[in-house]
Amino acid sequence: MIYIVFAHPYPSQSRANRTLLDAVRSLPGVEVCSLYDRYPDFDIDVTSEQAALGRARLIVWMHPIFWYSVPGLLKHWFDKVLTYGWAFGDGGSALHGKDCLWVATTGGSVETYSATGIHQRSFADFTRPVEETAVFCGMNWQSPCILHGANEIDKPALAAHALQLRRRLEVWLAIHGEGASEKAGHAP
Amino acid sequence: MIYIVFAHPYPSQSRANRTLLDAVRSLPGVEVCSLYDRYPDFDIDVTSEQAALGRARLIVWMHPIFWYSVPGLLKHWFDKVLTYGWAFGDGGSALHGKDCLWVATTGGSVETYSATGIHQRSFADFTRPVEETAVFCGMNWQSPCILHGANEIDKPALAAHALQLRRRLEVWLAIHGEGASEKAGHAP
């Protein structure tokens, strides 16, 4: 199973992230949790989230970049769901060996993320906290799928990027199969 | 005025952060907002927060490090309070020229933040998103005050670190004065 944690604060106003989600949500074995829809009061159901992660073989974090990081509710989800003794630490092996794919969009173009750009650094300089969160939980960090310039991108280019993401998940499914979750054996 | 945004999810269970806060909260011209006490439902009063920031000349973010970053509610505070047209973008100069000090604690020792440590990288590799958030808003990023090994530190060492922080704010106050906010002229 592929578990997509979708974190757009205003899903109905999203263009880029909504297009990406729509491109992959119909794939077999995909389960989506739209965080801001499901937990508008930030009261995350930790048991339910951990159960979904336990069933998953691939975990996708999909969201727009806010302040060089994940949106607040996804950060809160990290804090609440990835617990000691479950995701890390003594006996915390629930996520070991699962794959983790980061699908993110930035409003700014790739040029804004450079020494001479408005953000002063390459985008890679901002990614360590998210990457290490996955790695510390024993997950296999996949090469991230980052779309820059999401505010300005035209429809055909956005559709092409979304199709690329879909193809990537299709390949993953072809290798691992829809029933990959049952084979993983890492669920708690 | 010094505005301390204190983000510990369980303030009553905090040892290190509570000690740091107690060491500085009585200084003249200090205003404290304990985020998780004030906004347990994550429903941040943006107008009130922006007004406090407008009055401040030094803004302090004080919290334990969770997942290589700020706790979820402080990230949500970034997302909600640092708005376009106010903190950045067209006409967004409310925070320009203010000082920003990051006061953070990590459970892991400084050795855990190295190529051979459990976190695989130096702590500095994880700090860019928070630093650039301040810089993008036009704030003067101060050298951060980071306490490593907060879970294990003994009482005298913690007290010494807290005193060092107090001295640092005292020096800042001596230079800028308690009424610094009125001189800044950056309030919206």
Confidence of residue A177 (pLDDT cuts 50, 70, 90): confident
CA atoms within 13 A on the CB side of B174: 6
How far apart, in Å, are the Cα atoms of B120 and each of A22, A138, A165, A184, B126? 36, 13, 29, 26, 11
Q: Which residue has the tokens 């029933």?
A: A179
Residues of chain B that touch chain A, judged by Cβ-Cβ distance less than 8 Å: 9, 41-42, 66-73, 75-80, 82, 118-121, 125-126, 128-129, 132-133, 135-136
Answer whether B71 sits within 8 Å of A75, measured CB to CB.
Answer: yes
Q: Which residue has the tokens 């794939």?
A: A27
Domains delineated in chain A? 2-184 (3.40.50.360)
**Sequential DSSP letters for chain B:** -EEEEE--SSGGG-SHHHHHHHHHTTSTTEEEEEHHHH-TTS---HHHHHHHHHH-SEEEEEEE-BTTB--HHHHHHHHHHS-BTTTBSTT--TTTT-EEEEEEE-SS-GGGSSTTSTT-S-GGGG-HHHHHHHHHTT-EEPPPEEE--TTT--HHHHHHHHHHHHHHHHHHHHHH-TTHHHHH----
3-state secondary structure of A122: coil
Q: Are B61 and B102 in contact (CB under 8 A)?
A: yes
Answer whether A72 sits within 8 Å of B82, measured CB to CB.
Answer: no
CB neighbour burial string for A84-119, b if at least 16 within 10 angstroms, e if fewer: eebbbeeebbbbeebbbbbbbbbebbeebbeeeeeb
Share of chain B above pLDDT 90, in %: 92
Answer whether A76 sits within 8 Å of B75, measured CB to CB.
Answer: yes
Answer whether B67 sits within 8 Å of A73, measured CB to CB.
Answer: no
**Tokens describing residue A60:** 């996708």
Q: Are B168 and B118 in contact (CB under 8 A)?
A: no
Q: Provide the pLDDT for residue B137.
A: 98
Choose the closest CB to A121 out of B66, B77, B132: B132
**Tokens describing residue A177:** 């199969």
Round to whole Å and give the CA distance between B12 and B70.
Answer: 18
Neighbours of A48 (CB within 10 A): 12
Answer whether A75 sits within 8 Å of B80, measured CB to CB.
Answer: no
CB neighbour list of residue B159: distance below 8 Å, 6 or more residues apart: B19
The answer on pLDDT for B85 being more than 90 is yes
- Min CA distance, B64 vs chain A (Å)? 12
Amino acid identity of A48?
S
What is the ipTM, given to two decimal places? Answer: 0.94
Choose the closest CB to A75 out of B75, B118, B126: B75
Answer whether A67 sits within 8 Å of B125, measured CB to CB.
Answer: no
Residues of B in contact with A68 (CB under 8 A): 128-129, 132-133
Q: Provide the pLDDT for residue B12.
A: 86
Confidence of residue B46 (pLDDT cuts 50, 70, 90): very high
Closest CA to A166 of A53, A2, A14: A2
Choose the closest CB to B73 out of A76, A118, A128: A76
The answer on pLDDT for A181 being more than 80 is no
The answer on pLDDT for A34 being more than 90 is yes
Round to whole Å and give the CA distance between A184 and B114.
Answer: 31
Confidence of residue B179 (pLDDT cuts 50, 70, 90): low
- A vs B, Cβ pairs < 8 A, gives 94
Give mean pLDDT, residues B48-68.
98
Residues of A in contact with B76 (CB under 8 A): 42, 71-73, 75-76
Round to whole Å and give the CA distance between B109 and A101.
Answer: 29
Closest CA to B139 of B130, B148, B151, B126: B130
Q: Are B128 and B136 in contact (CB under 8 A)?
A: no
Question: Mind listing the pLDDT tens digit for each residue in B10-42?
Answer: 988 899 999 999 999 999 999 999 999 999 999
Q: Provide the pLDDT for residue B178.
A: 67
Q: Chain A interface, mutation test: which of B10, B63, B65, B76, most A Cβ atoms within 10 Å?
A: B76
Beta bridge partner(s), residue A64: A105
Choose the closest CB to B67 out of A42, A71, A133: A133
Share of chain B above pLDDT 70, in %: 94
The answer on pLDDT for A111 being more than 70 is yes
